[in-house]
Amino acid sequence: MSHLPILPVLLPMIVGAVLLLLRGSMDFKRGVGLIATFLQIPLAILLLLRASEGTLVYALGNWMPPFGIVLVVDRLSALMLLITAVLAFCALLYAIRGDDAAGRNFHPLFQFQLMGITGAFLTGDLFNLFVFFEILLISSYALLLHGAGSARVRAGLHYVLLNLTGSALFLIAVGTLYGVLGTLNMADLAVRVGQLSAEDQPLVGAAGMLLLVVFGLKTAIFPLYFWLPRAYSSASAPVAALFAIMTKVGLYSILRVYTLIFGEQANTLAHMVNDWLWPLALMTLALGAIGSLAAATLTGLVAYLVVLSVGTMLAGLAIGTPEALRATLFYLMHSTWITGALFLFSGVLQRVRGPRFAARLVAGPALPYPMLLGGIFFLAAMSIVGMPPLSGFIGKLLLLSAAGMGHLAAWLYPVVLGSGLLALIALSRAGTTLFWRQTEVSASAEPLDALRMTAVLLLLLASPLLVVFAEPVLTYLAATADQLLQPQNYIDAVFPTATEASP
């Protein structure tokens, strides 16, 4: 049995523990953390190539499922690992220029956060999904407060309380499913849900809807998104950039649970969920766009763009066709990397404008290299809004095409295009304020840092690359969507492996 599937979890766990226990210099921690995070990229690429050949199943301790813990690498989880690895490396590359020194234990917490995120994408067990959720959330609590400040403390308090409530609801839902079905292995749950008796269906349905509330809170969908703009806009730039993948963990969980466990074999619940997802997606889209117009800081604006992107992807999940899922996954890749780049770029602007102006959308000092900074902001803004010929345009075009010409399109077209227009207005106003309205020179501003700009550009480069390599990417995503809509393949991959692994 290959040990490759467990390495993305094991590597940050060991490195985080070592960095926490050793009291080495900051340069040592930076070097070890950066190397460990970079290694996640080739690991993710290797797993993606292996997952293209077939689903990988890793049974911890060689214990057979459904009793043992399993990690499962299929096309979707391998894709999420790659997205996370690229984002995390760029965020850490930015952080080592001084942001990591604003508080204690940044690097161990960063590694534990990575451990929780990768574990959530790999686990084949619902209870261990809860465990990895808690690991990433506990790390995120500390990272959010990294650097202190009253705004971060207030935002952190709301963030902690809401997520603790979500964790309690998650446990109730998991306990209910275990009490009725006697298992928490996802593949086994999928089988048993399809064999439910009529008297057990309401209780399992209630647990399934409770999970939707939990995942909706993590994803930040309406009306559970109010914590996100304040938390993300208060965090330091590299932490906010890493948090760009956090909402995708909730979205991944919705996609995994409701295609596998509550898929075709649980039609009633699946239809209930879809009935809720569609209006929630449209409301999230609309309110994310309105929030971006009202944002007073660039970081707040980008945080609302994260909410807007969540609504866009949720609409694709609600449509549920292979074409819509392919569009959703493409847009997920695009939005994660570009919003991450915008958070890092906001951090750069805060430093070159000085603490008096920071990321506030008010007239400020003349910026160094205005053509460079203005060009980067323009490229990022056009990409996230969805203007041709960048990757955001392809993602939205694919989603609108997947909606067809029926009643779904009648709702989706005006909301997607209208929210895109509002986001364009908000970003245009921000750009003119930041780059054209200048008042005085800020004596406390910092010079432009080359390494920070490199991190921004690496993430921003994803947009043209997704266009250039659109054909192979979309081919992979189409196969991923087909795999998701055929949950029997996942089930068959888990149980034969367990049989072979038995003594």
**Pick from 365, 334, 361, 342: nearest CA to 352:** 365
Identify which has the larger pLDDT, 198 or 137. 137
Cα-based torsion angle of the residue sequence 93, 95, 96, 99 in order, rounded to the nearest 10 degrees: 170
pLDDT the model gives residue 177: 92
Which pLDDT tens digit goes with each residue over 473-496? 999 999 999 999 888 889 989 987
Q: Looking at residue 242, what is its pLDDT?
A: 94
Report whether 461 contacts 305 (CB < 8 A).
no
The yes-or-no verdict on residue 136 having pLDDT over 80 is yes
DSSP codes joined into one string, 415-445: HHHHHHHHHHHHHHHHHHHHHT-B----TTP
pLDDT by residue (tens digit) across 381-419? 999 999 989 999 999 999 999 988 878 888 899 999 999
What confidence score (pLDDT) does residue 63 get? Answer: 84
Q: Is the pLDDT of residue 270 over 70?
A: no
Residues 38-52: tens digit of each pLDDT: 999 999 999 999 999
Confidence at residue 502, expressed as pLDDT on a 0 to 100 scale = 32
Give yes or no for a contact between 254 and 288, defined as CB atoms under 8 angstroms apart: no
Nearest CA among 210, 220, 139 for reference residue 174:
210
Q: What's the pTM value of the predicted model, to 2 decimals? A: 0.93
- Determine the pLDDT at residue 440: 61
Show the CA angle centred on residue 110, arms to residues 240 and 309, nearest 5°.
30
Which segment of 111-120, 140-149, 458-467 scores lowest on mean pLDDT? 140-149
Of 147-156, 166-175, 333-342, 357-366, the one with minimum mean pLDDT is 147-156
Tokens of 66: 């459904």
CA 330 to chain centre: 13
Query: How high does pLDDT run on average in the chain?
Result: 88
Cβ-contact 250, 310 below 8 angstroms: no
Percent of the chain with pLDDT over 90: 57
